[in-house]
Structure 1
Amino acid sequence: MSKGLRSARTARGWSQDRLIFEMERYAQKRLMDIASSASLKTYVSEWENGKRPIGERYAAILRPLLGVTDVELRGEPEKSMPQQADGYDDLLSRIDAAQSVSDSMVQTFLDQTELLRTMDRQMGAASLVDQMTGHLASMEDALTFAVLPGARRPIATALAGASTLAAWQALDAGFVERAWRHYELAKRAAQEADAPLYLAHAMGEQAYVLRDAGRPEMAVELVRDAQRTHAERHSPRLKAWLSAAEAELCAAAGWSDDAWRALERAAGVLPGGDETRDADMLSIFLNEGHLTRWRGNVLAMLGDGAAMDELYSALRTADSSFVRARSGLHSDLAEAHLARGELDDARTHLQQARLLANRTGSVRYRRRVELLTGRL
């Protein structure tokens, strides 16, 4: 209990007083009655020291505030609790129910994932933990009791896309183990669904966990393996996305020539036009505008002077609904200005990056902002 709340609070860089302030603000916005500041100070101390259990009333506030699951909040070990069918009649009832999952129900799963993706893009992941946890549980339950391949594959495809989104949200919130497990779930679901695009995308995103953990070389190998996995079935946009990801990871590893070659491949295969998504690969957003920003990011990491033009061009055309991505863009510009010794400009962009990271609750981008701030 104590370890869970304390770890989640410190991961966001919050003191106990800041946590209490955020709890009060959250409750006030939602017209919720909670204890006084003095009492909350006692509660938080007792929660973190294991002297008082966190009741559901306050857990419902803390989970979205900190972007954690109930297990992570309470610091309890994951328990393996497979759902036991109560005899053959109950088992068959659940199998029949899963078999009757219609195309419209699968579409409902996909629509819910799309809604959560839109909310995440604009508001951040922290407030969506409960919804995403329940969403994945519903699909996993449906897949567990679906028997025949014709019923399982559509559910598995939906689960692959949702699990990849959940993994990226966990990584953004600073929960790397949860992110890794979700990526593994996404890969298993994609393999069962015979959905190579979703498998390659999950592998490509999973490489960022390795990069963030300080293993960029291993990350490059994983994203390259993703490109080789059923490569003949990849769409042009997915190929461009994987190549751009490889370029960024190569830059993180300090492999300049490899990064440039990957950027050239991405530009060469990306479909033209303003469309950002493929009909059969909704998890990816990528057109020339997005690639310009990505190229600027890579060039900034390599210390290339051309980064500035690319990044300012991307900033002028950036979709305002991609709030978290704009935080990354301002961080890229700060890094590019730092490379040129333009400290005032760097501070301006870091301020914008910090505001947007705080708005979305992005622990990952806030860490980057702090690292760049330390170079001023």
Structure 2
Amino acid sequence: MSGETGGMSAAGGPGALRAARAARGWSQSDAARRLAALGEAAGAPVAAAPSLKTLLSRWENGHAVPEPQYRALLGELYERTPAELGIAGAAADPAAVGARERLLAALAAAAAVRQAGMESWWQQLAAATRLDDEFGAAGAGELVRAQADQLDETLTHTTATAQRAAVAAVLAWTTALAGAQELDRGRPDHAWLRYERARAAAREAEVPAAEAVAVAGQAAVLVDVGEAATAVEVVDAAGPFASDAAQTWLAAARAVARAAAGDAEEARAAIPAAVPTADALRPDGRPVVELADLHRWHGRTLVSLGDAGAAVRPLEQALAARPRSARHRAAVHADLALALAAEQPQIAAGHARTAREIATGIGAERIIARLSALHRER
């Protein structure tokens, strides 16, 4: 071939690829766009232009050798053979080539995320949240797990800071919901990991309400496995948050954890005031904190402290406020069964039956286990 770099030898040395581009007066961005267009015209699997610019820099600096499909496209782009461009390379290990291709594909897929894609994810999460409200993990578990894993994969391979924040925001809420579902299933180890991922994503996206929900989830995990003192440490180490809703969740988690640890005075002091705040919204548009939440937290704290008589009123108020989540309705009925067991066993048995029916329908083994403990005590 006769190219525009007449002095180039038959076998290009270091810098030949850069020289071929410079001879045409192209910037790396220019060359990346043209390379992407060539790939699209040829139906070849190539990364998007921004990712190609990064790859082109690595190839020109000798930090990597282009894969076969890129060597062919570069040869066509510059009207040179790969040898003349100094990118012929040695025979590659097929496994290594496959690994590189998988990474490039993942980077390209993440780079392709645009605002329309984010809107679709938010819509899917809102739908999954509504489905979870009615059917819990039994109806929405697979959907939430799939979305959480896909978002995690996307965030891992997203390089742009602004885009990372957008992905992290929806990931935070999705994995927090996944954590609640894992806790329902009686899988505290999986729940812990989901909540930990939610906390990290919420911090990156600067969404304090989602972070507080995740902290409260981890505290619940620790209480469930008998580590109430550690739950108190986790909650006390979090925050403060610049969000009333986040601070309310944190206070509720502190009250429940302190009660489980037997610290009655601190638990009572931590119970959030019964005034809901709407300074943060969930993906489905409802407030992060609702009146039913405040009453059920209050009642749960008093049940944990053994103050059954005082717990009944806030728990009944929680039911009257109509919790949207079947998970929360089942939990309130279970707490009422515990609170009323000694003084009003028949009414307690009714709440226990209702809690069990709801828990069975949504796959909440955690609540069923609590009810089984009540049955053993009786």
- When the two structures are superposed, what TM-score results if normalisation uses the length of structure 2? 0.68
The gaps in structure 2 that reach 5 residues or longer are 1-94
2:318 maps to which residue? Answer: 314
Task: State the structure with more CA Rg.
Answer: 2
2:355 maps to which residue? Answer: 353
Q: Match of 1:313, as an amino acid?
A: Q
Alpha-carbon separation, structure 2, partners of 1:105 and 1:281: 17
Match of 1:267 among 263, 273, 292: 273
Q: Does structure 2 retain, via aligned residues, the 8 Å contact 1:276–1:287?
A: no
Q: Report the CA distance between 1:89 and its aligned residue.
A: 7.0
Q: Does structure 2 retain, via aligned residues, the 8 Å contact 1:163–1:182?
A: yes
1:323 maps to which residue? Answer: 326
1:58 maps to which residue? Answer: none
1:293 maps to which residue? Answer: 296
Relative to structure 1, is the Cα distance of residues 370 and 151 closer, same or farther in structure 2, using a 3 angstrom cutoff?
same
Match of 2:199 among 169, 180, 187: 187
Q: Does structure 1 retain, via aligned residues, the 8 Å contact 2:209–2:288?
A: no
Q: Report the CA distance between 1:241 and its aligned residue.
A: 1.5
Q: Match of 2:331, as an amino acid?
A: G
Match of 1:159 among 156, 171, 174: 171
Task: Report sequence identity in percent.
Answer: 31
Match of 2:134 among 122, 137, 158: 122
> How well do the aligned residues superpose, as a CA RMSD in angstroms?
2.7
Alpha-carbon separation, structure 2, partners of 1:254 and 1:96: 52
Match of 2:371 among 356, 369, 372: 369
Relative to structure 1, is the Cα distance of residues 318 and 212 closer, same or farther in structure 2, using a 3 angstrom cutoff?
same
Matched ranges for 1:136-285 at <5 A? 136-226=148-238, 228=239, 231=240, 233-263=241-271, 266-267=272-273, 270-271=275-276, 277-278=280-281, 285=288
Relative to structure 1, is the Cα distance of residues 313 and 140 closer, same or farther in structure 2, using a 3 angstrom cutoff?
closer
Alpha-carbon separation, structure 2, partners of 1:137 and 1:162: 9
2:81 maps to which residue? Answer: none
The gaps in structure 1 that reach 5 residues or longer are 1-82
Q: Match of 1:374, as an amino acid?
A: R
Q: Report the CA distance between 1:309 and its aligned residue.
A: 2.0
- When the two structures are superposed, what TM-score results if normalisation uses the length of structure 1? 0.68
Q: Does structure 2 retain, via aligned residues, the 8 Å contact 1:197–1:234?
A: no
Q: Match of 2:338, as an amino acid?
A: E
Q: Which runs of 4+ in 1 moved over 4 A?
A: 87-94, 279-284
What is the number of residues matched between the two proteins?
Answer: 283
Q: Does structure 1 retain, via aligned residues, the 8 Å contact 2:208–2:243?
A: no
Alpha-carbon separation, structure 2, partners of 1:361 and 1:245: 23
* Counterpart secondary structure, 1:267: coil
Alpha-carbon separation, structure 1, partners of 2:218 and 2:374: 24
Q: Report the CA distance between 1:126 and its aligned residue.
A: 2.8
Q: Report the CA distance between 1:211 and its aligned residue.
A: 0.5
Q: Match of 1:139, as an amino acid?
A: L
Q: Report the CA distance between 1:209 and its aligned residue.
A: 0.9
Q: Deviations along 1:116-156, whole A, 9 cap, x unmatched?
A: 22211211203433322321222122223221212211112
Relative to structure 1, is the Cα distance of residues 136 and 169 closer, same or farther in structure 2, using a 3 angstrom cutoff?
same
Q: Match of 1:222, as an amino acid?
A: V
Alpha-carbon separation, structure 1, partners of 2:273 and 2:96: 51
Alpha-carbon separation, structure 1, partners of 2:352 and 2:187: 24
